[in-house]
Amino acid sequence: MPETRAYEDGDATLSHDGSLPGFLCACAEALNAPFPAPRVVEGRSPEGLFEMRIAVARDDARAAALWDRLTRRAGPDAMRILLEAFLSELPDARRDVAAAMRRLRAEGSKALGDLGDPVMLAVDKAANRARREAERMAGLVRFAELSDGSWYAPLEPDCDILPLISDHFAARFGTMRFALHDLRRGSAAMHEPNGRWSLVEGFVFAPPPEPAGGAYSGREREVRLLWRLYFDAVSIEARTNPRLQMSKMPKKYWSLLVEMNG
């Protein structure tokens, strides 16, 4: 762990491993540092020419302790906004979240309402971006039944939203064994029947291309076929409006839709 005296020799930057616990550990170090607080960056970001970078090790217990302290100070709704902003993946969002934590610790949740502060405004915009993407994905996700009786749903969100939507699906499908697979980030929310979900990094699942579909159950293959037939039957060629269709369902998501891959 970096010592306080290390900050006295120059413009220090604290780096983390990119995970939420790693980020929180770096933020905890920044909050304990003398003013002005060191910047918090992801370890893989380019270093400045005269930058003094200090790596902060991930410690899940320390991360949880900081989250709990800030939750008691600012409340769960404020911390939800910080989480959403962190997951937005906007270029400077995590830097802004780190800066916002200092104000939340000092002032409580009211600090987030100060949209005249560029940092708080940026956090608000980042949180809104992730929140909208989470809401969109919650309506888009399509589960497929696999041959072993479990359920699988691929998605490619613009933000890292699995932590924001997994509670929703765990509550709705509590008796199901399922995986929400973020194809873009290679992670998955894994849920066991009547249990909690957990986030798995480096998740890989590649079902055989249809019509073989060996990974899917017989019932799933039948349902997918019937859904395509229904979609084709209700389509009215004279009223086809691709532009309107894309405004309601952006084309970048079509590869995940059964009806668009018949």
pLDDT tens column, 77-115: 999 999 999 999 998 999 999 999 999 999 999 999 999
One digit per residue, the tens of pLDDT, for the chain of length 262 reads 444 445 554 468 888 999 999 999 999 999 988 767 788 888 777 676 667 888 999 999 999 999 999 999 999 999 999 999 999 999 899 999 999 999 999 999 999 999 999 999 999 999 999 999 999 999 889 999 999 999 999 999 999 999 999 999 999 999 999 999 999 999 999 999 999 999 999 999 876 666 555 788 999 989 988 988 998 888 888 888 878 878 777 788 888 888 777 5
Q: In sequence order, which residues have a C-beta less than 8 Å from that of residue 233 and are 6 or more positions away? A: none
Q: In sequence order, which residues have a C-beta less than 8 Å from that of residue 69 and are 6 or more positions away? A: 105
DSSP calls for 141-201: ---EEBTTS-EEEEE--SS--HHHHHHHHHHHTTT--EEEEETTTTEEEEE-TTS-EEEEE
Count of helices and strands (H, E) across the chain: 8, 8
Residue 7: count of CB within 10 angstroms of its CB: 20
* Helix, coil or strand: residue 215: coil
- Predicted TM-score (pTM) of the model is 0.85
Characterize 32-55 residue by residue with b for buried, 16 or more Cβ atoms within 10 angstroms of its Cβ, and e for exposed: ebeeebbbbbeeeeeeeeeeeebe
- 76 and 85 Cβ atoms separated by less than 8 Å: no
- 260 and 227 Cβ atoms separated by less than 8 Å: no
- The torsion of the CA quartet 21, 41, 89, 80, rounded to 10 degrees, works out to 40
DSSP calls for 43-69: TTSPPPTT-EEEE----HHHHHHHHHH
